[in-house]
Amino acid sequence: MSQISLTRGAAPRPTDRAQIIVIGNEKGGAGKSTLAIHIATALLHAGARLAVIDLDLRQQSVGHFFASRRTWSQANGVEVPMPWAMPLADDAAQLAKASAEDQAVAFETAFATVAAEAQFVLIDTPGSDTGLSRLAHGKADLIITPMNDSFVDFDMLGQVDPVTLELVRPSTYSEVVWEARKQKMLSERRSVDWVVLRNRLATSEARNRKRLEERIDVLAKRVGFRVGPGMRDRVIFRELFPFGLTVADLSSTVRPVPVSLTHVAARQELRAVMQSAGLGDLIEPRSIGGAEGAAPKSAGIKASARVYRPVAASPQR
């Protein structure tokens, strides 16, 4: 089977079943959980029927985020949209100690239940190669990989020659995605879209960034991923975490920190991420301080249905 056949030309994803989004990168600290909660809240504000599965059974960053979200919103008497389902969240600590077989059964059962009824299933994965992470990758329609703007992070995707810095070969995580694509093609005759986003971009690293960009572009063509717009290193992308909130939630009633202009820029970045991932115009532009941003929309799927563009399975866009 040629490389090309795994990354394009397959039947498009049927629109009558959930879209499976896997946030993955075997590098810890790349920004997976941060990206997961931002994408999740953006989808929720668009009224999506969203199931969230946190497969980092030990860290449970996404699980903790949504638990805090419930507590914060109840304590403050405001409504914020919640996932329709979060299977495995209550059993994560116990599941972490279970055998690989038991973990796989628990995941498959939970996944089958929610995938049958959700619009989106968003899966956050741990920063290591676990059986559960592989299972999740094998189910993905869309894999989103954040990476820090660093050759240390690039090393998980592609190996470069230490003398010339030319790309030598795809490496560990690219192979995981390759396997996932193969599985998907064999089981469903469909391709998997893969988007790589650079995260925590700093303003000052022009030379390092340019070198990295060139290698990423070469690798993108070689293994078949799209390169997304990236997110800057911003305090607002981390400081709302303990409240269970993100910039997608900020409004005149949901405002746990003083609002600033940089939040508008941060929302714009999130919007660009959603668009590049093919998740459409899911965040409506609204003034964070203004009245129109007041209440989070309750999950009106019909009302927001128009914003869901069908996502092409091919990465060739």
**What is the binding site for ligand ADP (CB under 6 A)?**
28-34, 61, 127, 199-200, 231, 233-234, 237-238
In whole angstroms, what is the distance from residue 317 CA to residue 307 CA?
19
Please give the torsion angle defined by the CA atoms of residues 13, 146, 103 and 107, in that order, rounded to the nearest 10 degrees: -30
Residue 90 and residue 18 in contact, taking contact as beta carbons nearer than 8 Å: no
**Residue at shortest CB range from Mg ion:** 33
Look at residue 120 and give the partner it binds from Mg ion, ligand ADP, none, a contact being a CB closer than 5 to 8 Å depending on partner kind.
none
Least distance in angstroms from the C-beta of 243 to ligand ADP? 13
Instruction: From the list Mg ion, ligand ADP, none, pick the one residue 238 interacts with, judged by a Cβ distance below 5 to 8 Å according to partner type.
Output: ligand ADP
Q: Which is nearer to Mg ion, 61 or 314 (CB)?
A: 61
The option from Mg ion, ligand ADP, none interacting with 229 (CB < 5 to 8 A, set by class) reads none
Quick check: 33 binds Mg ion (CB under 5 A)? yes
Is the distance from CB of 89 to CB of 56 less than 8 angstroms?
no
Q: Closest CB to ligand ADP among 19 and 25?
A: 25
Which residue, 139, 122, 132, is CA-closest to 33?
Answer: 122
Shortest Cβ 244–ligand ADP spacing (Å): 14
Residues 225 and 196: their CA atoms lie apart, in Å, by 7
Calculate ∠ Cα 102-193-39, nearest 5°: 75
Instruction: Decide: is 25 part of the binding site for Mg ion (CB under 5 A).
Output: no
The one of Mg ion, ligand ADP, none whose footprint includes residue 234, by CB under 5 to 8 A per kind, is ligand ADP
Query: 289 contacts which partner out of Mg ion, ligand ADP, none, CB within 5 to 8 A by kind?
Result: none
Q: Give residues with Cβ within 8 angstroms of 46, minimum separation 6.
A: 280, 282, 283, 284, 297, 304, 307, 308
| Residues near 216 by beta carbon (within 8 Å), at least 6 away in sequence | 154, 157, 196, 198, 227
Q: Which stretch binds Mg ion (CB under 5 A): 49-57, 185-193, 194-202, 213-221?
A: 49-57
With 0-12 / 13-18 / 19 or more C-beta atoms within 10 angstroms meaning exposed / middle / buried, residue 164 is: exposed
Q: Which of 7, 23, 30, 32 binds Mg ion (CB under 5 A)?
A: 32
Looking only at the bridges linking them, the beta strands covering 158-160 and 50-54 are: unpaired
Considering beta carbons, is residue 24 or 158 the nearer one to Mg ion? 24
Binding partner of 30, given Mg ion, ligand ADP, none, CB within 5-8 angstroms per partner class: ligand ADP
Which part of the chain contacts Mg ion (CB under 5 A), choosing from 12-20, 60-68, 131-139, 262-270?
A: 60-68
Complex with ligand ADP: residue 169 or 238, whichever CB lies closer = 238
Decide whether 7 or 133 has the Cβ nearer to ligand ADP: 133
Between 67 and 185, whose beta carbon lies closer to ligand ADP?
67
**Pairing state between β 226-227 and 193-199:** parallel
From the CB of 34, what's the least distance to ligand ADP, in Å?
3
170 vs 215: CA distance, rounded Å = 11
Rounded-to-integer distance, Cα 252 and Cα 242, Å: 19
To ligand ADP, the closest distance from the beta carbon of 75 in angstroms equals: 23
User: Quick one: 248 exposed, middle or buried, by C-beta within 10 A (0-12, 13-18, 19+)?
Assistant: buried
Stretch that binds Mg ion, among 56-64, 160-168, 254-262, 281-289 (CB under 5 A): 56-64
191 binds Mg ion (CB under 5 A): no
Interface residues with Mg ion (CB under 5 A) are 32-33, 56, 61
